[in-house]
Structure 1
Amino acid sequence: MRVLAGLQNGDDRLTRRIAAWDSPVTRRLLPTVEEAAEHTKLWWAASLVMAVLGGRRGRRATASGVLAMTVAEGLSNGVAKQLVDRRRPPAEWIPHRDVSDRPDSSSFPSGHTAAAVAFTTAVAASWPWAGAACGVPTVLVAVERVHGGAHYPSDVAAGAVIGAAAAALIRTAPRLFLRRRR
């Protein structure tokens, strides 16, 4: 029980510390990242660029990324959020105006992070360069979710695990299916 209390205490402290970041870069960059990540607009835009400019490899990476992102959103928002009802970090911990724009759903897990990690991981498996390029906004999305007061760091970590699992599932499912058919 003490271990869980210690983890919760660390989660709370890290949430407060990240939410308190106040620099000109943070004030300009993170709200822009949050807006781009809403409704997975950022990943759809990346998909369009990869499909148009990346040829066959880009289209394969796009298909993998979008499929993994869809699975991750289903697992995080459709399953995990229904099973775990966790309140968002208290508004008084968030010392900036972004706190007013928080969702009402469960804080656990971060669906934005799950989608971002799933998309990026699946893309990286098909086209490493494009996956590396998607890595930067993926990290920024994860940081923004805590900075904006929408999630605790453990929610973001759980979202990342779900996203990685969705990408792995997309990567291995065709091989499993083909193996069973033989």
Structure 2
Amino acid sequence: MTDSLSRLATYDRALYRSVARLPTPVLDEPLRRVSDIADFSKPWFLVAGALALFGGRRGRQAAFAGVTAIGAASLVANQLLKKTVGESRRPDRGGLGVPVQRWVRMPSSGSFPSGHSASAAAFAVAVGDVIPALGPALRGAASVVAFSRVYTGVHYPSDVLVGVTVGALFGRLAARLTLRRRPPHQPDEKEHTS
């Protein structure tokens, strides 16, 4: 078991170093901004607010599912898992070769799992399940947030992968519970025959 974990840790750091070596300075500023903006799930709450205000009944359902998913995923990722695993050490950005121009503020909490990634995936999956037309854009945005956490050097890839998995599970659950509680409006038979 310890050999397997050691091997996984080796692969994790190798992938982290590969991302650090990407010759993509044009992405440094945009991904730093994305990583900072995603603090406290700000973009997801803004989207939820817009959906609740302008999206009608389906938009309110999606906003409810998305915010519920964020709450559950954040609780599990940031409280239960981080405390169960213990204070996992953050990456040594300098020692592992992340260029300084990519750096964002290093969080004081443990590294495993990524709370940003959990919240982003939770919201994207929940809202995408309620309003499928929004799924691709939200999943794309969530993927950028998740990648930015490795790119800026604050998380290992495994932190992000587990965060995304936790978030996706709670996103799916929140959407199912929301739709089961209040199924989307179905036209009645008179509307079909007219």
Structure 2 gap ranges (5+):
182-194
Task: Select the structure of larger CA radius of gyration.
Answer: 2
Aligned to 1:144: 148
CA–CA distance in 1 between the matches of 2:63 and 2:104?
34
Aligned to 1:163: 167
Aligned to 1:38: 39
Task: Name which of structure 1's ranges 15-24 and 70-79 shifts more when overlaid on structure 2.
Answer: 15-24
1:87 maps to 2:89: yes
Aligned to 2:60: 59
Structure 1 gap ranges (5+):
178-182
Shift of 1:102: 0.7
CA–CA distance in 2 between the matches of 1:54 and 1:26?
33
Residue number among 126, 130, 137 corresponding to 2:130 in the alignment: 126
> Structure 1 or 2: larger helix share?
1
1:154 maps to 2:158: yes
Shift of 1:10: 0.8
1:21 maps to 2:25: no
Task: Indicate the SS of the match to 2:44.
Answer: helix
Shift of 1:174: 6.4
* C-alpha RMSD of the superposition: 2.0
Amino acid in the other structure paired with 1:56: R
Cα distance, 1:48–1:150 mapped onto 2, change above 3 Å: same
Contact in 1 for aligned 2:66/2:123 (Cα 8 Å):
yes
Task: Indicate the SS of the match to 1:79.
Answer: helix
Cα distance, 1:110–1:101 mapped onto 2, change above 3 Å: same
Q: TM-score, normalised by structure 1?
A: 0.88
CA–CA distance in 2 between the matches of 1:114 and 1:73?
7
Aligned to 2:190: none
Cα distance, 1:47–1:27 mapped onto 2, change above 3 Å: same
1:115 maps to 2:119: yes
Shift of 1:165: 1.8
CA–CA distance in 1 between the matches of 2:10 and 2:55?
46
Identical aligned pairs, as a percentage?
36
Q: TM-score, normalised by structure 2?
A: 0.83
Cα distance, 1:25–1:100 mapped onto 2, change above 3 Å: closer
Cα distance, 1:54–1:174 mapped onto 2, change above 3 Å: closer
Shift of 1:164: 1.5
Matched positions, count? 177
Task: Indicate the SS of the match to 1:101.
Answer: coil
Cα distance, 1:127–1:100 mapped onto 2, change above 3 Å: closer
CA–CA distance in 1 between the matches of 2:80 and 2:108?
16
Shift of 1:12: 0.1
Shift of 1:64: 0.4
Cα distance, 1:117–1:100 mapped onto 2, change above 3 Å: closer
